[in-house]
Structure 1
Amino acid sequence: MTRQHSQGFVLVTSLIFLIVLSLLGVMAMRGSLFEERMAANDREHAMAREFAELALRDAERDILGLHFDGTTYCASAGAGVCALRRPAGSRPANAADAGNFWIAANPAIDDIGQDNGGLGGAANIQGIYSAGAATACGMPVWSGAAWEAVSPACAGTIGAAVPTVQYGTFTDAPFNAPAGTVPPRYIIELFRADDLAITPTSNKLFFRITAVGFGRTTGTGGARTSVTLQSVFSPL
């Protein structure tokens, strides 16, 4: 092999190695980007889940008529506490009242939950649904609720997206989160024991709370990463 041919062989070999190293570098970069996206997605879901859990606890305080401190009753609170209150008589006013408030025998219970969740009504009656809400909605209520700006609507006799409640609305709980984060939301469905076919007949009431927490990322169509949680709560 002549020296000229030898130099040509080294050049070709070097170019091949350079191409291989470049491809390996590109593959490594793509792998890093993919892992970074996975980590970001995990963070988004973890954040959304945490916010949904906050909304579940906030909904329980809403049911109990409590300020976010867990001790002050909004119905008897002074100025500056629980700025927006549920209608008078729809929540316990004090600890003594709370003992026998959430029982099926209380006549006030008939007017608290509505099939349409207070759609079109005053802000302080919205987000509480009766046992017949799913039938009126034509689907599970949470499937036709206004969780985001663009939401699927109920079918049935309602034919619209039914209202949800933003975290802290009735408890004044502060939402401390990074800028651009959307507060979580919840709805509450009220059931008597006979609505659930529980026998023997009981005065016990049950609340199914559905909460949705959101991440910070906005995807196609403006939708955000979200996590939906449900819990069943009974004050007694």
Structure 2
Amino acid sequence: MSMPRPAAPVVNRRQDGFILVTSLVFLVVLTLLAVSAINSSTLQERMATNQREKSRALDAADSALRHVETLLASTDFRQCNPVMSPTAGTNAAANNGCNASASGLTVIPAGSGASNSTSYYLSDQFWSQAGVSSYQLPADASGSGLNVQYVVEYVREQANDLNPGSAGAVILFRITARAHGRSPASRAVVQSVYQVTT
């Protein structure tokens, strides 16, 4: 004789699908976290790129400033540039064997009054005038996309304050250099006043 089998336990059907719903909730949360992380890393990458471009522009503008200061310090500038030697003429570099960059350095009269404000040197009006020169970085044969410009202004001639007994005078030049890269936000302007002793 066979013994009756015990009845199978009754499964509560109301819990069917609970694991599926929980899995979907976790999946949505993980997707939101991943999207947030991607957005955050993209923003950080843009910020780092902008900072790098601003640093490159500042370095390029500073390089142009130092280049012009080197030209102003050269004997070729003193002997052959029409600002320092009006009798030198326009062909001074060819006639005297002078460096063409120093003898041909464009110098314009300095502005006065309101035109000496910071906003004036940052404006496009200043950089669209005659006398603006371009500068190419020495190692920029590949074309980094940096646009570097500079302006040299004649400020004034005055007595040599550092050496009052000397017969010579000093001439002050204001050098302003601007560089900007591919991004409009990556713009840098630097300025110095350079003294040349006559």
TM range (shorter): 0.5 to 0.7
Aligned position for 1:210: 176
Q: Matched residues in 2 for 1:19 and 1:4: separation?
A: 26
- Displacement of 1:235: 2.7
Distance of 1:7 and 1:176 partners within structure 2: 69
- Write the letter of the residue equivalent to 1:208: R
Are residue 191 (structure 1) and residue 155 (structure 2) matched? yes
Count of residues in Structure 1 that have an aligned counterpart in Structure 2: 168
More strand by share: 2
State whether residues 177 and 190 of structure 2, in contact with CA within 8 Å, keep that contact through their aligned partners in structure 1: yes
Partners of 2:46 and 2:115 in 1: CA distance: 35
How far has the Cα of 1:127 moved from its partner?
4.7
TM normalised by structure 2 equals: 0.65
Q: Deviations over 1:118-156 (max 9, x none)?
A: xxxxxx97852223x245xx63388567x9xxx7326xx
Q: Does 1:140 align with 2:116?
A: yes
What is the distance in 2 between the residues matched to 1:141 and 1:175? 33
Task: Look up the equivalent residue of 2:66 and give its one-letter code.
Answer: R
Note the aligned Cα RMSD (angstroms): 4.0
- Looking at secondary structure, tell me which structure has more helix per residue: 2
1:63 alignment partner, SS class: helix
TM-score, normalized by length of structure 1? 0.56
- Aligned position for 1:162: 129
Partner of 2:50: 41
Asked if the contact 2:147–2:181 (Cα under 8 Å) also holds between the matched residues in 1, the reply is no
| Percent identical residues | 30
Q: What is residue 59 of structure 2 aligned with on the other side?
A: 50
Query: Equivalent residue for 2:24?
Result: 15
Deviations along 1:39-83, one digit per CA (max 9) or x if unpaired, are: 1111101111110111001211333457xxxxxx4899xxxxxxx
SS in 1 for 2:182: strand
Q: CA deviation at 1:12?
A: 1.3
Return 5+ residue gaps in structure 1 as ranges.
67-72, 77-87, 92-100, 110-123, 155-159, 195-199, 218-222
- The change in CA–CA distance for 1:2 and 1:41 in structure 2 (over 3 A counts) is farther
| CA distance in 2 between partners of 1:143 and 1:126 (Å) | 25
Unaligned runs of 5+ in 2: 1-9, 88-102, 159-163
Name the aligned partner's letter for residue 56 of structure 2: M
Q: How much has 1:215 moved relative to structure 2? A: 2.1
